[in-house]
Amino acid sequence: MKRLLLSGLMSLILLPSIAWATDDTYVNNGNVIFPPQIDATNVINNGTFDFRFNTTVLPFDTSNTRNFTNTGNMVGSVGFRFDNSPSSSGTRKLAANFRNRQAGVITAIDGIGILSQVDGQPLNTEFLVPSFLLISATNVINEGTVSAGAGGLLRMVGTNINLARSGVQIRPIVPQGSINNLFTNYFAPEIAIYDNYWGQTNQVMDSANIIQASGPDVIVTSPPSDVQFSPRFIFGGAFFGTIFGTATIQLNNPVGDFYTNTLAFTNIMFTNMTGGLESTNVPLTNVQQAVFVQLPASGDVNVGIRFFNSTDIRNPMKTASVGISLAQTNVVTTGNDLSSIYLVDTLASETNRSFYTNFTDLLTLRPQNYLLERLEPFEFAFGFSGNADFTPNFLYDTNFASATVTNDYAAYSAFVDNIASRPPNIPAGTVTNLPGRIEIEADSLDVTKTRFRADGLLNIRTKHLISSSNAVVDCENLSYTLGSTNGNLKVQNLAKESVTRFQGDIFAWSGVWTNQLNIIIPNFAPDPADTNVPPTKFIPAPLTNVTEVRLHALLVYAGDMLTEVPVVVNAMVTHSTNVAINDKMIVVQSFLIDGQSFTLNGSITFSNTVFIDTRGNAIVVSLDSWIATNAPNLLYFTNNGTLKIPREAHFGDDRLIPYSAFVNKANITAGGQSIASSYFENDGNLTANDGGIFVTTPSGKMEDGQISATADVQFFASVLKFDRSSINTGSRLDLMVTNSLFDAGGTAGNLFTCRDGFRLLIKPQTGDLLGTTFQTVAPNFAEVDHDWAGADRGPSAAGFSDNAAIGGLALTPEGFDPLFVFSGTGEANGLYVDFLDLSQLSDYQNQLQIDPNLVIYYAAASLSFTPPFTNGAPQQPEEYLDGQFNGHLRWVRDFAGPNSSVAVVSNGVSILVNRALRNSLIIDSDGDGIPNGSDFFPFDTVLMARLAVTNQPAMTAVLSWNATAQTVYQVQSADNFISPNWQTVLYYTNSATTDGVVTIQIPVPPGSLRQFYRVGTSAP
């Protein structure tokens, strides 16, 4: 066997005699504590393998084993290896089968190594010997629990791996403790605690400023103290020196505990009320110690503060200790994991000063009065709580001799990590080399309801992921390469946004000083109101006693320690025809969708990782853009979740073949976005924080969609539809649509806002945007240009049909003196606007420019002022503006659009007419001498219907009108419109319960050349 064994231990059971030939089966039903040599085809453990006291640095393994079965408990330092290994030399192979049954527990434990000396210098420094749990088999089944230590590796390799309903974990760091040595001036550092800065000497400070209280708020601040910072730069591998500076910590409303004791008394004589002498005891020496702790703002964090007697019985000051712990649920065992950190301060209780050297961390130091460790120290376990309440004057009283004191102080900071150790911070595999990682590689993998816990990394690679339904993954670093041989890959329950971990910087300051408290003791003084006391009676002077106060304060700031750390996916690689990701992920190094269809139901954020090289230079490994290589074969893109890209997002535009379909129903945010797809649909939010959004598509639509960009927004399309959508660009909006550009009509409610104008560079063959408002915004003193390709059809309602007519145009200045310029794209173009809003322009005649090749036609308009009267009658804005700008601003009075119409009743029929025309006090449409605005029936003319001629022998007239519910109508006809002789043709009863359009057919009298019809309400 190829491993080191601890001698002197004996097995508790009789082992089979060792034979040179491979045995058929090895079975353990007992308790084995001495690692046996096993050479057997089948190995079965029903009992216990307990190798915790094994001193080997290699995992225990067997020889020539093809089948492993564990039903019992296997625990070993430094672990186990399950594969088919030759007994002497040769190549290791996969075993045939590995099965850890439901009751089976396999645990690999980190070892503890001791470096006794380096270059002849004593160290006595602890370090972790990594544990290993290595499983290699064609078929791997885990129904129980397998685990390795915080410094170790758990690896599974197989053809078929089934981990359903099992537990796979890296256990948290096991506390080891730290030792302060008073003789040789060194210490053994706790695992994964690193010195940040240290300082210890004396200083002059203002003790009155340590505690500041205002109402319910208490602020505790340490004085600025000289410290030495840990070296952060290494040049050529050599130590380059220490950085000197000052450090101050501030605690806001901290928790605290307080201890006080009177050491000695003195006797003082004073005059009593009878004039006689009386003695009393007053304090001669007091001890006052305060401990303040700032905890993290969130998380299930507990704190304990203890005081402990000095080792010198003559020293009345106490050792102060603080314990901070975070409770977290272990997802594998469902029990509680408690992450704790303890700080012991002996500055007041002991005489040790100066520093201990940390030989394992670039020669950093720690003040000798501090002990920082994960293991509960003796001083905390057997200490006691304080006996005093907090008062704002606990450390300084106005009766003290002076606020300025000379004190001994110590200052210290350390980084507490949750990962046992970290390799050099370089791009070459930092995460993949972290200890405490799980690696799984399989052709076929089932992790249904599997519970994973790790600290360093969870790395899964499989060609076919059967299922990850209801899996639980508790690890801050993830890496996935996942495939599906059936063409459908669903990634779910493999990542969450954060995990509970205790990690971060802890800061401490403590000081010891002495002050004097003046105690005033009044002698008897008679009451001035007592008339029996002679005015000349002698009043003794008050007595003064000086009390020495020995003070100690410990401030611990853990407010920046993290209780939740974000989960980072270093690689997300998928291989399947159809891929769906339902989890929330931050991906930092690589992302690949190797398939034709991708659906995001969760959240993906691209990020980057910053590394520091050996000379202190930052190296950024970025995943900051979505480009063709991220999805080289993708055709169908659907987003139902959230996608965040720091820089450019290229969806099909940076390759020869665009996407077949791009559908966004939720949120996509990027620096800039370019989309090329045969079909485009945005029902969610597309946001470009630093650039523009460019869409190229034969067929596209936005329904309840929003687009927001700091730069241009451009559409290149054949067919494009908008409904209940908005576009907001900090620059220009371009619409280049060849076939059909339209919205859902007057109720579409679209709003397009731009700050550098908009352009319609080609007129679509069909379609209008009468449910869309264009709001163009001009910054301070800016000229914003607009180009429009609509046809000029004159002041006619025909200009609002299939001519890219828009529902609204609002000109909005953001500052002073803007200029809105409108031009045509050809020699003569028309921009037809249902509602023209000039109400925000203070001087529209100088703030609006219409070039000679364009006419803006409007059906309704508004101004910032009331137009003047003409011929004694007030004008409406529409009438006032008509013909201005040399005839390039025209009113289309015959058009009644969604934003410009009003319903009127004519001959009993409700019809829509232009609102301004209806309300005009100048125009008389029916020629009755009453202007429309004063006429109850300004359009009361004969309602006519065109004859509908069919190929049938008998001609019929088809009449339609808007009929009121439960109303009788009289239909009349005449063959002469100039002097009609109206004859009743029929009565029609609209028996419907609601208003609506009705249509009737009336036979035309034989031989009639023409017929005129009118409809009115009447009783039969």
User: CA-CA distance, 999 to 1019, in Å (whole number)?
Assistant: 19
Apex 83 CA angle, 81 and 89, nearest 5: 95
pLDDT grade, residue 526 (50/70/90)? low
Residue 298 near residue 563, CB atoms below 8 Å: yes
Question: Of 825, 849, 828, which is closest to residue 838 (Cα–Cα)?
Answer: 849
Cα of 220 vs its chain's centroid, Å: 33
The answer for residues whose C-beta is within 8 angstroms of residue 952's C-beta and 6 or more apart is: none
pLDDT score, position 5? 29
Q: Which tokens sit at 614?
A: 């050996």
Contacts 24+ apart (CB under 8 A), 1005-1009: 1006/954, 1008/975, 1009/975
pLDDT grade, residue 831 (50/70/90)? very high
pLDDT score, position 237? 33
pLDDT score, position 535? 53
Q: What is the mean pLDDT of residues 788-808?
A: 97
DSSP lists the bridge partners of residue 107 as 75, 147
pLDDT score, position 829? 98
Q: Is the model's pLDDT at 534 over the cut of 60?
A: no
Q: pLDDT tens-digit profile of 244-272? A: 889 999 999 999 999 999 876 556 655 55
Q: What is the mean pLDDT of residues 671-689?
A: 98
Pairing relation of β-strands 132-142 and 111-118? unpaired
User: CA-CA distance, 938 to 931, in Å (whole number)?
Assistant: 8
pLDDT score, position 429? 54
Report the b/e string of 902-929 with b at 16+ CB within 10 A.
eebebbbbebebbbbbbbbbbbbbeeee
Residue 92 near residue 325, CB atoms below 8 Å: no
Q: Is the model's pLDDT at 904 over the cut of 50?
A: yes
Q: pLDDT tens-digit profile of 910-960? A: 778 999 999 999 998 888 889 999 888 888 653 333 333 333 345 677 788
Phi, psi (deg, nearest 5) at residue 844 = -65, -30
Residue 222 near residue 555, CB atoms below 8 Å: yes
User: CA-CA distance, 930 to 934, in Å (whole number)?
Assistant: 6
Cα of 424 vs its chain's centroid, Å: 28
pLDDT score, position 405? 94
pLDDT grade, residue 742 (50/70/90)? very high
pLDDT score, position 274? 53
CA neighbours within 13 Å on the CB side: how many for 454?
32
User: CA-CA distance, 38 to 623, in Å (whole number)?
Assistant: 49
Beta strands in 131-254 (DSSP E): 132-142, 145-148, 153-162, 167-170, 179-180, 187-188, 193-206, 211-214, 217-221, 225-229, 243-247, 250-252
User: CA-CA distance, 807 to 822, in Å (whole number)?
Assistant: 17
Phi, psi (deg, nearest 5) at residue 589 = -125, -45
pLDDT score, position 1003? 76
- pTM of the shown model: 0.83
Question: Of 113, 115, 87, 100, which is closest to residue 46 (Cα–Cα)?
Answer: 100
pLDDT grade, residue 517 (50/70/90)? confident
The answer for residues whose C-beta is within 8 angstroms of residue 82's C-beta and 6 or more apart is: 61, 62, 65, 68, 95, 98, 134, 135, 136, 137
pLDDT score, position 638? 98
pLDDT grade, residue 278 (50/70/90)? low
User: CA-CA distance, 240 to 336, in Å (whole number)?
Assistant: 44
pLDDT score, position 19? 44
Q: pLDDT tens-digit profile of 132-177? A: 999 999 999 999 999 999 999 999 999 999 999 999 999 999 998 8
Longest dimension (CA), the chain: 146
Residue 762 near residue 789, CB atoms below 8 Å: yes
